[in-house]
Chain A
Amino acid sequence: MKKPYEEIKLQGESFYLLPQRAMYRPSKKQLILSDIHLGKAGHFRKQGIALPMQSHLKDIDTLQFLLKLWHPSTVLILGDLFHSTYNKEWLLFKSLLTGFEQIRFVLVEGNHDILDKEEYLLPNLSTVKVVEDSKFIFSHHQLPDPQKLNISGHVHPGIQLFGIAKQSIRLPCFYSGKTHFILPAFGHLTGIHLLEREDESDYYLIVEDGIVRL
């Protein structure tokens, strides 16, 4: 049966996996997400390839919806907030931040986050390389041989399922392995990277508005 979220335990702690491709950590009131790729549309536009603006409001709307639903105190973004350089979507995102000034936004920098440092100067936004606490280490890329469970993004994980009669279906997923946990990409303009399935790992598929454990 579908639930609005799926509760799982990581290192004994509860996390809620959300079908909006994000994760909530109730003990710290943290909303965790990755790879929004804001401004992908704008980036194409600069290359002379025009994309209409409407297509990109969706991610910001979804984020706003989650902020109102879960009332987090911190939003942890695991990199690739922006697709590339300065763009209009960034202004929209800024105004969203200003609207939720009680929430602290922490950006773990990713390979696409190449804005001027000054642009990040907002009272409730900070940027870091990694975030570490007693049980977890959060980063954009997967870290080699982490000492603690490494929670990251970057990969845009997905799974392809094959059934009989040549049926197949591709879905984004959360990957949960022994040493690494990977979030799906939050942005809807992003593609997915298909993972090879490992027996000892868990995969949580995003199926429309629910989560299905494989």
Chain B
Amino acid sequence: MCIATDWFKLKKWKPFAFQKATWKAIAEGKSGLLNSPTGSGKTYAIWFGIIESYYKQFNKKKKPKDSGLHCLWITPLRALSKEILLSAQQVSKDMELDYKIALRTGDTTSTERTKQRKKSPHALITTPESIHVLLASKDYDKFFAGLEFIIVDEWHELMGSKRGVQVELAISRLKALNPDLKIWAISATIGNLEEAKEILLGNKTENSVTIKTDLEKVIIIETLYPDVVEKYSWVGHLGIQLLPKIIPIIDASNTTLVFVNVRSQAEIWYQRLLEEAPHLAGVIALHHGSLADSTRKWVEEHLHKGSLKAVICTSSLDLGVDFHSVDSVIQIGSPKGIARFMQRAGRSGHHPGAVSKIYFVPTNSLEIIEGSAIRYAIQENLLESRIPYVRSFDVLIQYMVTLAVSDGFKAEALFEEVKSTHCFESITWEEFTWCLDFITTGGNSLKAYDEYHKVVLVDGLYKVTNRAIAQRHRLSIGTIVSDSMMHVKFMGGKKIGLVEENFISRLKPGDVFWFGGKNLELKLVRDMEARVKISNKKSGKVPAWLGGRLPLSYQLSNSIRKQLDDYKNGDIHNEELRQLGPLLDLQSKVSHLPDKNELLIEQFKTREGYHLCVYPFEGRFVHEGMGSLLAYRIGLLEPFTFSIAMNDYGFELLSDKKIDVDLISDNNLFSPEFMYEDTLKSMNSIELANRKFRDIATIAGLIFTGYPGHQKKTRHLQASSHLFFKVFRDYEKENLLLRQSFAEIHDFQLEINRMQNAFDRISKQKLVVTYPDKPTPFSFPILVDTLREKFSNESIQTRIDKILNSVQK
């Protein structure tokens, strides 16, 4: 351990126990997982292990001419790679080592790439996509021949996405090239840490280690309340009413990060904050995923320097490098998950032993309960698990073409490698050959089109021989599918960011909108670019970006139910519950407050029709599935047309005729039996799968989203994927990509396992039905939600007759 100890001495630091333990494990040739939050010195824990191992083989004197690539360090974020590069280079510099480190991301120039290939650095810091691009280049096996380490940073982030599958596949290939490869994961705390390790390490799990930091982090949560809770809005997700309460916090802190849940909310908060607190002009900034890279970099640099008082941001700043000046964090609206909340809290007070302070701003009165729930969950150490993707055939197909583009592959050998990954451990030879068939002939439905005959079999090797196909494929490597966005630029060409095509298409030149913290006047739209100039006119229009409605996590919903139960039993153990008192009492008075053994159902009539509201407190995705399932089951007894709305606490079935509530208990409509089959049949899942299919078709290379700068319009891509979906459903039901779209809906959209649990729980609960005169504190937020699903098993004729009748009345 001479390099590490020398360096720590030089810096006058003392290594932590977990750092020493990691060095030791690496020196013993082990693979493993390091469980550590950001800002704890995790990079050094791993880095010195690598360096020591390298210099044990090649000491400073007898070094080889070109030892080749020694270590791959994978991160989910480019910003993070930069930070690691700097730390690692500093070590080489301080200790006068010849160990070279380079960066390779989507931003790396082609000259730089060529240089790296000719004379490779010792360590490459890169992203999952970039590794696959490397695997798509000729003679990659020589490039990786000397590889000894793969480090996957923030593995918990990657694991829950298809980028995790990309990592698994890349590792399976690299392991085949270098059987002695050592694999290390770095992960924040999640509910399934051991599983996370097994997924990444695979057959190297045996004899591996899990090292946890011994640093206890204290999180202090403070909820900000409206002056009079009874007068605070029952609905809404913006929370702007509480804006005056955050200004003193910003004033009193060095730097405050204000987290909101969606991008449009960030824009609005920024705008309103400037209006309310003009003294902050120039020292507050905006940061979200649709802003131009250069803008985001600027904000990050100024955060580093400590020259900003506050930054309004979205999950774009969840991850990544530490900003030392940040000493306050504010969360606006539901945090949705415990891990996410803790991660955000952890962005303040970095240095080991420091306290993280986070303020929670509820955006409607009932949301105050989440402050109480999150406190309880953190205290009980309830943390969410990350669910890994399995059987992602779209990623496999892309990977097969990647290997065919470079040096080609043999079917049997690749099958064994692929089967060794967690994602594909259940793949059969038939499924594998289906994928082979798909890339060589387009499969059953697409045989007639030669553009799907991408790969050919030459002397037992699957290869891409057509240069145009190879070129297109290299450009399409990746698993993040986003809507095609329109670039917003100043007349001079300076980029501001990306806005959904759909938003711009509704504006005329001369219209003013608010984006990137500025009032912009639309001048002209050409191709996929909107040219704008700064305007002095006021405008209320703020682009809304689709997506972003995360469900409440399983753990957090459990905690919320616990809080309600506590309150009902008179156990009012914190300020949040005390503040909520009047609202919960009102709910109890006009309807009922359920305890943990009860499921509340409310039925009432308004001008709009008959409402049936159910409150399982299971998160909006499960409610969406439950809502359409209940609609379907009621429809089996009698034809019905429903409009279905949901939030994180419950769902509503709205109909034009009354539902006999006794039918629900008499026929056991909440039965967990046949839940899976019934969900499949409720129309919803087909429509959802259809939407999901666009991503799958894009990843699998069925749809080409366009050359850089010539992106295709979302609406065209949608039309095209919609037709593939339809044709596969009509003519090729066994299509693996089609089946995958349904599987993904079940696992991630409907959260079928969670739904199963919820149904099991409900089947043991007592149904409490109330008939309030008017909407209750629980039901009101759901009733006003405009995002609704539909279910109908009445014929179009009946529906029209009813509509016409109601119009004539």
Contact surface of A with B, Cβ cutoff 8 Å? 2, 41, 44, 47-55, 161-167, 169, 171, 205, 207-208, 210, 212, 214
Contacts and interface: CB of A to CB of B under 8 A. Distances in A.
Most B CB atoms within 10 A — which of A48, A164, A169?
Answer: A164
Given A49-B717, A161-B803, A55 B726 contact: yes
B448 A165 contact: no
B712 interface: yes
B655 A49 contact: no
A99 to B, nearest CB: 23
Contacts of B802: 163
Interface string B701-713: 0111010000010
Most B CB atoms within 10 A — which of A44, A51, A207, A210?
Answer: A51
Contacts of A205: 800
Nearest to A208: B796
Given A44-B720, A51-B720, A163 B806 contact: yes
Nearest to A166: B643
B318 interface: no
Contact of A207 (B643, B702, B712, B800): B800
Given A47-B712, A50-B703, A52-B446, A212 B723 contact: no
Given A51-B724, A165-B641, A165-B642, 9 more contacts: A50-B451, A51-B720, A161-B807, A163-B807, A166-B643, A167-B799, A167-B803, A169-B796, A205-B800
B103 to A, nearest CB: 33
A47 B656 CA distance: 45
Contact of B731 (A54, A162, A166): A54
Interface in B82-137: none
B449 A50 contact: yes
A167 B723 contact: no
B654 interface: yes
Nearest to B641: A167
Given A49-B712, A163-B806, A166-B643, A54 B799 contact: no
Contacts of A50: 446, 449, 451-452, 702-703, 720, 724
Contacts of B452: 50
B656 A163 contact: yes
A171 to B, nearest CB: 8
Interface in B659-708: 702-704, 706
B719 interface: yes
B720 A165 contact: no
Nearest to A210: B797
Give the bracket for the number of chain B residues in contact with chain A. 35 or more
A169 B803 CA distance: 9
B656 A167 contact: yes
A51 B706 CA distance: 16
A167 B800 CA distance: 10
Interface in B350-386: none
A169 B716 contact: no
Interface in B567-622: 608-610
Given A44-B716, A49-B716, A163 B803 contact: yes
B577 to A, nearest CB: 35
Given A49-B716, A163-B802, A163-B806, A54 B641 contact: no
A55 B723 contact: yes
27 contacts: A2-B797, A44-B716, A47-B716, A48-B712, A49-B703, A49-B712, A49-B717, A49-B720, A50-B452, A51-B719, A51-B720, A52-B727, A55-B723, A55-B726, A55-B727, A161-B800, A161-B803, A164-B608, A164-B656, A164-B806, A165-B610, A165-B641, A165-B656, A167-B799, A169-B796, A205-B800, A210-B797
B508 interface: no
A53 B641 CA distance: 35
A17 to B, nearest CB: 16
Interface in B772-794: 788
A54 B730 contact: yes
Nearest to B446: A52
B756 interface: no
B397 to A, nearest CB: 15
> Interface on chain B toward A: helix, strand, loop, or mixed SS?
helix
Contacts of B723: 41, 51-52, 55
Nearest to A161: B803
Contacts of A214: 804
Contacts of A49: 703-704, 712, 716-717, 719-720
Contacts of A162: 803
A161 B803 CA distance: 7
B445 interface: yes
B806 A54 contact: no
B796 A207 contact: yes
Contacts of B727: 52, 54-55
A22 B86 CA distance: 70
Interface in B426-470: 445-446, 448-449, 451-452
Nearest to B720: A49
A177 B726 CA distance: 37
Contact of B797 (A41, A47, A207): A207
A88 to B, nearest CB: 11
A167 B653 CA distance: 12
Interface string B537-581: 000000000000000000000000000000000000000000000
B449 A44 contact: no
A207 B806 CA distance: 18
B528 to A, nearest CB: 14
A2 B806 CA distance: 20
Most A CB atoms within 10 A — which of B610, B796, B802, B804?
Answer: B796
Contacts of B654: 165-166
B771 to A, nearest CB: 18
A44 B719 CA distance: 9
Contacts of B795: 208
A52 B730 CA distance: 12
Contacts of A207: 796-797, 800
A52 B608 contact: no
Contacts of A163: 656, 799, 802-803, 806-807
Contacts of A53: 448
B718 to A, nearest CB: 10
Contacts of B448: 53
Contacts of B807: 161, 163
A187 to B, nearest CB: 13
A205 B654 CA distance: 26
Interface in B475-517: none
Nearest to A169: B799
A47 B807 CA distance: 45
Contacts of A208: 795-797
A180 to B, nearest CB: 24
Contacts of B704: 48-49
A189 to B, nearest CB: 8
A210 B803 CA distance: 17
A205 B731 CA distance: 31
B627 to A, nearest CB: 14
A51 B703 CA distance: 10
A58 B724 CA distance: 16
Contacts of B799: 163, 167, 169
A162 B656 CA distance: 12
Nearest to A45: B449
A210 B797 CA distance: 9
Contacts of B797: 2, 207-208, 210, 212
B484 to A, nearest CB: 12
A105 to B, nearest CB: 28
Closest 5 CB pairs of A and B: A165-B609, A163-B803, A166-B643, A52-B727, A49-B720
A164 to B, nearest CB: 5
Most A CB atoms within 10 A — which of B723, B795, B797, B803?
Answer: B723
A12 B788 CA distance: 46
B800 A212 contact: yes
A55 B720 CA distance: 11
Interface string B297-324: 0000000000000000000000000000
A204 to B, nearest CB: 12
